[in-house]
Amino acid sequence: MSFAPAPAPTLALRWEALSLNTLDALLEVEQQAYSHPWSRGNFIDALASGYHCQLLWADNHLLGYTIAMRGVQEAHLLNITVAPTHQGQGWARVLLEHLALWARSEQAQCLWLEVRTSNARALSIYTAHGYQRVGLRKRYYPAADGAREDAIVMQLPLWP
């Protein structure tokens, strides 16, 4: 007797640009995911600045999102978040691939990001995705008890 593999769960996946209508859902995830979350004002500024703000939904569940800024022949990833209840399921890779596709379509030559030195999980995902460590920003992020934490600067070349 042979067994067929279990079918993948059926999810209606969709991408959507951030708007004021979806900001509350995003903020709920943001506050669950970070010790130092972005504020509502940070996201409103991102919208007002025309940043690329993409949400990934499965049915009516917010899986995650990216916020990125266009530069001259480059793009900068400012925020990537997977909802805590959906972490560990490979969604970070989906978000990063979608972001790189968009950046290529914008004729960017590379993508930049910063990551906390303590964020081993994010560092390992970025490295696996092809990002290379190119610098360090001292005391870049707020940390516990008024301290500051360094950021590792990473770059992904988009074209050979």
Which residues are catalytically annotated? 114, 126
Q: How far is the CB of 82 from ligand COA (least distance, A)?
A: 4
Alpha-carbon Rg of the chain, whole angstroms? 17
Non-local (6+) Cβ contacts of 157 within 8 A are 109, 110, 130, 132
Torsion sign (Cα): 134, 136, 142, 144: positive
Q: What is the signed CA dihedral for 120, 126, 127, 132, rounded to 10 degrees?
A: -110
C-beta of 27 vs 122, nearer to ligand COA: 122
Q: How far is the CB of 1 from ligand COA (least distance, A)?
A: 32
- Residues in contact with ligand COA by the rule CB under 6 A: 33-34, 80-82, 87-92, 115, 119-122, 124-125, 128
Instruction: Quickly count helices (H) and strands (E) in the chain.
Output: 4, 7
Q: How far is the CB of 93 from ligand COA (least distance, A)?
A: 6
CB distance 97 to 139 below 8 Å: no
Q: How far is the CB of 29 from ligand COA (least distance, A)?
A: 8
C-beta of 90 vs 157, nearer to ligand COA: 90
> Which amino acid is it at 12?
A
C-beta of 89 vs 132, nearer to ligand COA: 89
CB distance 34 to 17 below 8 Å: no
Distance between CA atoms of residues 50 and 70, nearest Å: 9
C-beta of 15 vs 34, nearer to ligand COA: 34
